[in-house]
Structure 1
């Protein structure tokens, strides 16, 4: 017959053990909560969670792997921590393990990696003896997994699984909230950069059209939703002549805006040095090649109007070919071409010349016009643009610019503008 006092003693010991575990768990959770509350970045937060988990469950290594929003494309492991020194590289988690967690979204204990029947054919590194893995779940969505490797003494137990699940549950919301905060901060920084780039771009463009005896001039640039690199300018040069230029800088945002600023300063300095048209373009190209980022380039049309002799000299560096509507209704395309700027330095550029007669309209533009698309992914097109130029019999330069914008917007409808739209129209007056 058993001693009732002995039975009560054993029961009391069990209760005390449970109480000690509960106190220990509360202490661990409190430590984690305090550590988390003082952590700002996702990377640092993950380091804290792993360090506390390794210490609490007496494991050798730990890792957190975050997965994407759609749960289909896991990111690379963000943090690998070694309990002993913090410097040694942890074991890479198996894609099989991650796949299992995607499907089951429940804790996993593997105390014999080499012979576990749930992972047949998986060749675990011999240094990995045991694994305890729990999901990080927010609103029924898997955002990551927390994995511990190699229990220092014995096997991972049900108590270990329960404790790590509690730690993961406390951590998941904080990890997700911190990650979302960082993403929002990045978006805010991007928007701030775009706003600054837009301001730089707008400050570089002319605010008024020049007055040229016997001519009308009108120009505009309508930036796309994401700031691009279209550029146009009027540059007064010697003997009453006026340089007219339209360019397209590759890229978007601040890099494009800074390259545009560089282009404007370089082109203006070369144009005002008294160089020929071709030398102006060649020197601008050489200087840009010395400073431009790899992979960036500029397309540019540059011409100089002599209003006294009604001569227009021009050169083209990979830009769209301008059109002239002659007074008889025909359309002439300025077919001279050349290599884009910033690709290769010390190369020559050709120049050409046309005469503008009374009633002629010169139209210089960027690719945002012919390449404007609608919801059917149909472009406005070069042929439509040429037909529009041909129809501009009595339109002033300003009226024609407005007409082009209206027609492009009619074509696009509600489809978002995906590139800058930039143009200059120059019309010789009938009595000019």
Structure 2
């Protein structure tokens, strides 16, 4: 009887192993996986061991859980494939020594564990467990129940189960290796696809948002943020955080971390700072770091461009049912690779935005230059008994803030104006246009020059930004009498060169136009004043902006007023056009190869 039973058992084992081998071949060839074949394995085991119910539970090391992979004849809803059993390393060690585990005689050390999961065991109809392992690496368990009532065969079951469990363990290990390879390939595919997607983004704000979303998805995390270095403040600043449920510490309430190591902050935040300053990846799965961010662990990698641009931080790696997992070195390598591509994408987006801004500024400069050109006189007026000419040369970018012009007054006199508007570009051009329009309006009112200046001051003050103002000289020439009445509002002093070579400066006036409100001007007793001089035959008046006297050479020396005065004394017998041209040529000769950083504007009036 014993011999016959042994032969039957051996035959069932051989048949079972043969069937397992066929299934294993499909797994090895890649035509199947253990997940797809686990039900077949379980059916073979139940048939071989003449058990009616069973389940295979695979171990998830990341989450320390046993989860049902497949089951047969387990009707209890609690034992479906969603059932999971937490298990500790100590409990795993005991299970590995119990081969197999008979629940009717459990080791005393496992009693607390079994008591805790007895409901699950009843659902599984489990009476016998065998560990699935490879070289003491725990892979899971096979759970069996409802055996045939044959006491003669019962003693064989544990031996048979061990043999079958070994074969199933090999299948699991091989399948897991394939799964790991597929997972690695999938991660690489995700990295490649994600990199391709962000490389197309040229809007920096959209790019920053997508970077965080992709980083969180790449590592199966719950939150993340990109922190970029502000080169001006030297702080790490949070950009577009994806942080549902993430609690930022009080140190980060301003959403920034100072890079200066002398500024004391929380040690974990110091770690984030070190990632940016030292360029080393940091993984924190410890409780201290988790407590700082609402219970979430974190991984932080540097974002490299031509230099470190900032850091990418991902929080709270999640597994099944929201279980927090530890970040691994593989996660670090993957996020580092992504961080490098992020750096390239950010620099490309910045360069693109800079190019757009450069084109915008260039278009603005061209428009401003056109506005300025339209404001300047096309030709000087013909005033009997006088020569008059002018020129304005903008600085190196082609758009300046200088202005000069001629305005005929209602009484037949001529207004000669030269101005220097603060700033450059479109704002300066618009302010210049506003100033010219206001001048024309005030001329029509025929008020005296101080009244006009106060009106201009109020208008410019109200219609322009507080940092915009203008210096100005307005001189009113009465051709018939040769009288010249002038007002200087903070401008360089015009030079009057008499026929005998003596010099006089037109200094009367007041403060710059638009710098101070009218009330403050009155409080300072700085009201505008004018002065009147008499021009005689051969006298010359030179109006100029500081671009003349502040012309610099390669030695950073200035042309200065003394040099200008000596030159105009020598030119007192020349006509107005020649004087204007000679002054300009003299500044060019002095400037040499140096670059001009300010406009140069001249206007010359000479009485014949």
What TM-score bracket applies, with the shorter chain setting the length? 0.7 to 0.9
Task: Kindly indicate whether the alpha-carbon contact (under 8 Å) linking 1:289 and 1:345 is maintained by their aligned counterparts in 2.
Answer: no
Is the Cα–Cα contact under 8 Å of residues 66 and 77 in structure 1 kept in the other structure? Answer: yes
The residue number in structure 2 matching 1:105 is 279
1:363 aligns with one of 514, 521, 542: 542
Distance verdict in 2 for CA 1:93–1:418, change over 3 Å: closer
Whether the 8 Å contact between 1:112 and 1:129 is mirrored in structure 2 is: no
> 2:210 maps to what in 1?
48
Bigger Cα Rg: 2
Report the 3-state secondary structure (helix = DSSP H, G, I; strand = E; otherwise coil) of the residue aligned with 1:414: coil
Shift of 1:110: 2.3
Cα offset, 1:25, TM superposition? 1.2
- The 3-state SS of whatever aligns with 1:258 is helix
Q: Which moved more, 1:368-377 or 1:213-222?
A: 368-377
What SS is found at the alignment partner of 1:272?
A: helix
Match of residue 223 from structure 1: 394
Cα deviations by residue, 1:163-204 (Å, 9 ceiling, x for unpaired): 222322443322221221111111111111111111111110
* 1:56 positional shift: 3.0
Q: 2:297 aligns with which of 126, 130, 134?
A: 130
Between 1:301-310 and 1:271-280, the stretch displaced more is 271-280
Q: State the distance in 2 between where 1:133 and 1:58 align.
A: 15
1:354 alignment counterpart? 533
Moved more, 380-389 or 244-253: 380-389
CA distance in 2, matches of 1:212, 1:260: 25
Structure 1 unaligned runs (5+)?
A: 117-123
The SS at the match of 1:47 is helix
Alignment check: 8 A CA contact 2:226 2:312 kept? yes
Q: Does 1:36 align with 2:207?
A: no
- The normalised TM-score by structure 2 is 0.64
Q: What SS is found at the alignment partner of 1:246?
A: strand
Deviation string 1:76-120 (CA, Å, 9 cap, x unpaired) is: 33322214699999874644445533554342212237489xxxx
**1:282-316 superposed Cα distances (whole Å, 9 cap, x missing partner):** 22222222212112111110011111111101111
Alignment correspondent of 2:315: 149
Higher helix share: 2
Q: 2:235 and 2:353 mapped to 1: Cα distance?
A: 18
**Partner Cα distance (1:128, 1:93) in 2:** 21
Offset at 1:212?
0.7
CA displacement, residues 45-99 of structure 1 (integer Å, 9 cap, x when unaligned):
12112112113323343222334799x9566333222146999998746444455
2:342 is the counterpart of 1:171: yes
Aligned with 1:393: secondary structure?
coil
Change (3 A) 1:308 1:362: same
Name 2:555's counterpart in structure 1: 376
Query: For residues 115 and 164 of structure 1, what CA distance do their matches in structure 2 show?
Result: 19
| Displacement of 1:236 | 1.0
Q: Partners in 2 of 1:241 and 1:131 — Cα distance?
A: 79
Residue matched to 2:518: 345
| 1:243 correspondence with 2:421 | no
Distance in 2 separating the partners of 1:78 and 1:166: 20
> Residues of 2 paired with 1:113 and 1:355: CA distance?
89
- Structure 2: gaps (5+ residues): 1-134, 136-161, 260-269, 319-323
Written as runs of structure 1 = structure 2, the 5 A alignment for 1:293-312 is 293-312=465-484
Equivalent residue, structure 2, for 1:161:
332
- Asked if the contact 2:248/2:293 (under 8 Å) is kept, the reply is no
The two structures have a TM-score, normalised by structure 1, of 0.88
